């Protein structure tokens, strides 16, 4: 690896700081060091992004370093960028140190123009593939760099496409710089800022930009793309779980516009690539000590790994994976506790459908359960409206044909998410699991017209029921895995967290009464100077954090696990 002011080569010789190169580039370097098949790449660091955002222009020396990185990529691939018979095409991908799936921008197939399309067609003998690749580039460039989303007609010519989308720089090097600037700028989009605020991610980290040689899942019948989780991210089952879409590129999977096939279909279609994928999944989970979310492409039967990161998981999966990995000796109990949040436990303990509640209930939509949980509310088809009505205190369910990063604020506000299109690795599914929202995807057409109706969403069964169904509240002490987490947390907790039947409460401040009389801000001052507090409000992670900051060292509440996990955050 060579080192400069703004860029680094990802050749596997070293493993730079994740904060400097972002999680995506870090995983590329990590996989290269493990000897896995990764397309060559270099990275523009987060330091360059922050300098760009501060100055409003490319920092001095960055363009020269990008040119040097391109020279290295050309030597590694034996291809030329913007010239020659063997064209080098690039993917330009964002990547922050903390994963923000789907929040920032990516441009694929950069480097193709009319001459490049002709060269690609001559090299592969597949003019339809070359034309398809050209169209994909122009669509993404128009959407990401020019901020003009467009769907181009496959039957039209490149000249017609360019006329439809406006000004695209003629030189591919200028296109590359435009794409880099667009990725830098995507750090401060509304959706990215909203996601960071919801997840307590600092705004001053910046994003790196990974510049990587393209491999093509849309090349031929033995090509495709997909996403693999080393364990099931919904329930935590240890069997690998994923989806595969033949003759496609990665954006097709996450867009939710296409319904991918199962891993079993991939095994039947490209068995050698499937076997290599499972072997890589096992290696990466062992090396990283956590369940992995792996993006891959198969080109003419050969597997290429594009990214591996810790998977976003639904609350049920978070608990099961954490406890199971301790049993397997992969992590210790302290690490397991750090991987389950108070909010995830609270979500698990939310009401669920009561026995027989669904019997006779009308199913108004059915798809694939993408994040377990039950929620009731009115269906709203617009993300801005969902945010506005939720802020006014209304329980809303967001329903969309498919979601994009521009819907994140509505997903955060909603109690559940329903989409007509997409599978369990689509944008809606991945973000819902990250947020802990019940989610049903792929209902088919007909869900959007239900907007305005009150429904109950069951994210486990994938069913949407008419009306509000009866629910019941689960108990933490009746769940074996939650009980184990409680035991580990009690051994490490710096304060006492007790159930009401285990503690005298006469000398404890009643948090529920304080909340009924005032605001959260007033609660902090009311608790100051007291050692003990009681009340069901302390089972809420936000209230428990206020109590801890106020100096409370004895909490009396039920359930206890959310408060225990908050106390362990100190």
CATH of the domain at 290: 3.30.470.20
- What would the mean pLDDT of 179-205 be, rounded to a whole number? 90
**Residue 149, pLDDT score:** 87
* pLDDT > 70 fraction of the chain, expressed in percent and rounded: 97
Say if residue 197 is in the same domain as residue 63.
Answer: yes
Q: What is the CATH number of the domain that holds 412?
A: 3.50.30.10
Least confident of 231-245, 246-260, 295-309: 246-260
Residues 193, 254 share a domain:
no
In a domain, 332, yes or no: no
pLDDT at 491: 97
User: Does 319 fall in a domain?
Assistant: no
Q: Looking at 442, 472, 502, which one is the last position of a domain? A: 472
Question: Quick one: 146 and 22 in the same domain?
Answer: yes
Mean pLDDT of 169-190: 93
In the sheet with 463-466, reading across from the earlier edge strand, the strands are 363-366, 463-466, 454-458, 374-380, 396-400, 416-419, 439-441, 368-371
Structure tokens at 475: 């108990």
- Do 528 and 442 belong to one domain? no
Residues 83 and 185 in one domain: yes
Is residue 342 one of the residues assigned to a domain?
no
Give the separation between CA 39 and CA 35, rounded to whole angstroms.
Answer: 12
Query: Residue 156's domain spans which residues?
Result: 7-213
Segment of 51-60, 197-206, 530-539 carrying the highest mean pLDDT: 51-60
Residue 122: phi, psi to the nearest 5?
A: -65, -40
> Which of 214-218, 441-445, 510-514 bottoms out in mean pLDDT, i.e. has the lowest?
510-514
Element (H, E) at 397: strand 396-400
Establish how many alpha carbons lie within 13 A of residue 372's alpha carbon, considering only the half-sphere containing its beta carbon: 21
pTM for the whole structure: 0.80
238 and 182 within one domain: no
Q: In the predicted model, what is the mean pLDDT of residues 200-211?
A: 93
What's the pLDDT at 372?
Answer: 83
* Residue 197 domain flag: yes
Q: Which of 310, 335, 370 is the last residue of a domain?
A: 310
Residue 3 has pLDDT above 50, yes or no: no
Per-residue model confidence (pLDDT) at position 418: 97
467-481 pLDDT, tens per residue?
A: 999 988 889 999 999
Residues 426 and 506 in one domain: no
The verdict on residue 325 lying in a domain is no
pLDDT at 540: 86
Element (H, E) at 133: helix 127-144
Tally the domains of the chain. Answer: 4
Q: Are residues 193 and 268 in the same domain?
A: no
DSSP letters for 9-21: E-SSS----HHHH
Average pLDDT, rounded, for the chain = 92
Residue 303 sits in the same domain as residue 367: no
> Which of 307, 261, 260, 247 has the alpha carbon at shortest distance from 280?
307
Nearest Cα neighbor of 168 from 146, 140, 199, 195 is 146
Residue 101 is predicted with a pLDDT of 72
What pLDDT is recorded for position 519?
66
Pair (446, 382) in one structural domain:
yes
Q: What are phi and psi of 379, to 5 degrees?
A: -75, 130
pLDDT confidence of residue 272 = 97
Q: Residues 67, 119: one domain?
A: yes
- What's the whole-number mean pLDDT along residues 409-430? 89
The domain boundary residue, chosen from 443, 472, 501 = 472
Q: Is residue 315 assigned to a domain?
A: no
Stretch 39-46: mean pLDDT: 97
Q: In this structure, what token pair is assigned to residue 403?
A: 């979601």
Residue 12 has pLDDT above 90, yes or no: no
Kindly state whether residue 134 falls inside one of the protein's structural domains.
yes
**Chain centre distance of CA 182:** 20
Q: Are residues 26 and 164 in the same domain?
A: yes
Residue 219 lies in a domain: no
């Amino acid at each position: 690896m060579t080192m400069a002011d703004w860029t680094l080569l990802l050749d596997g010789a070293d493993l730079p700081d994740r904060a400097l190169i972002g999680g995506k580039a870090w995983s590329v370097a990590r996989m290269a060091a493990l000897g896995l098949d990764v397309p060559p790449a270099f990275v523009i660091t987060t330091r360059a992004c922050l300098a760009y955002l501060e100055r409003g222009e490319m920092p001095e020396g960055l363009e020269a370093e990008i040119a040097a990185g391109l020279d290295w990529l050309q030597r590694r691939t034996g291809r030329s960028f913007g010239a020659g018979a063997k064209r080098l095409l690039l993917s330009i991908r964002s990547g922050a140190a903390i994963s923000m799936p789907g929040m920032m921008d990516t441009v694929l197939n950069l480097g193709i123009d009319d001459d490049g399309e002709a060269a690609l067609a001559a090299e592969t003998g597949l003019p339809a593939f070359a034309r398809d690749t050209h169209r994909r580039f122009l669509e993404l460039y128009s959407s990401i760099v020019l901020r003009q989303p467009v769907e181009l007609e496959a039957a039209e010519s490149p000249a017609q496409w360019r006329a439809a989308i406006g000004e695209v720089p003629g030189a591919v090097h200028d296109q590359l710089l435009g794409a880099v600037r667009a990725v830098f700028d995507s750090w401060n989009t509304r959706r990215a800022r909203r996601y960071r605020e919801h997840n307590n991610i600092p705004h001053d980290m910046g994003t790196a930009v990974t510049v990587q040689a393209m491999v093509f899942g849309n090349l031929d019948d033995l090509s495709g793309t997909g996403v693999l989780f080393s364990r099931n991210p919904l329930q935590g089952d240890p069997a690998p779980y994923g989806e595969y879409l033949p003759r496609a590129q990665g954006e097709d999977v996450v867009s939710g516009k296409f319904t991918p096939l199962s891993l079993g279909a991939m095994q039947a279609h490209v068995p050698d690539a499937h076997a290599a994928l499972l072997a890589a999944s096992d290696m990466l989970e062992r090396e990283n000590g956590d369940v992995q979310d792996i993006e891959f492409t198969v080109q003419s039967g050969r597997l290429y790994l594009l990214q591996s990161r810790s998977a976003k998981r639904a609350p049920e999966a978070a608990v099961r994976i954490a406890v199971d990995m301790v049993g397997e000796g992969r992590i210790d109990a302290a690490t397991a506790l750090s991987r389950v949040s108070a909010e995830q436990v609270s979500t698990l303990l939310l009401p669920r459908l009561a026995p027989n509640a669904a019997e006779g209930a009308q199913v108004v939509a059915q798809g694939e359960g993408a994040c377990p949980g039950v929620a009731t509310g009115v269906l709203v088809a617009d993300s801005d409206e969902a945010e506005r009505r939720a802020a006014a205190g209304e329980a809303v369910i967001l329903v969309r044909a498919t979601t994009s990063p521009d819907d994140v604020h509505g997903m955060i506000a909603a109690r559940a998410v329903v989409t007509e299109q997409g599978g369990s690795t689509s944008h809606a599914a991945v973000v819902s699991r990250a947020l802990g929202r019940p989610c049903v995807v792929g209902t088919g057409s007909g869900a959007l017209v239900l907007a305005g109706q009150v429904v109950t969403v069951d994210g486990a069964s994938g069913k949407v029921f008419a009306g509000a169904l009866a629910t019941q509240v689960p108990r933490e002490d009746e769940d074996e895995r939650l009980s184990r987490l409680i035991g580990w947390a009690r051994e490490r907790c710096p304060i006492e967290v007790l159930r009401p039947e285990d503690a005298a409460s006469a000398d404890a401040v009643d948090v529920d009464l304080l909340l009924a009389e005032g605001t959260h801000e007033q609660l902090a001052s009311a608790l100051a100077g007291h050692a003990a507090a009681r009340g069901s409000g302390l089972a809420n992670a936000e209230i428990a954090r206020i109590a801890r900051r106020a100096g409370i060292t004895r909490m009396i509440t039920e359930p206890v696990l959310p408060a225990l996990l908050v106390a362990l955050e100190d």
